[in-house]
Amino acid sequence: MNESEENENNLIELDALLSFTPVPIVILKENQILKVTPAAVRLFGGKRKEDVVGKTSLNSPHIYSRMVKRQVI
């Protein structure tokens, strides 16, 4: 297996793990949301991961305030 195939397999495995994780997890790259768990989607007020993936902290500042509010309660 070459490195490209191995990377693709790792991403598939990561997606599978994230889809069944009950806690909010967000994977960012340069402030852009790349991957989220279903719990993180709900925390951000979305209905599906496409509602959150691709957003940045600059164009969605409410995401972080929602996280803080939910953690305080």
Question: Mind listing the pLDDT tens digit for each residue in 22-67?
Answer: 998 888 888 888 899 999 898 888 899 998 898 886 555 555 555 5
Q: Which residues of 39-49 are buried (b: 16+ CB within 10 A; e: fewer)?
A: ebbebbebeeb
Q: What is the pTM of this model?
A: 0.68
Bridge partners of 28? 33
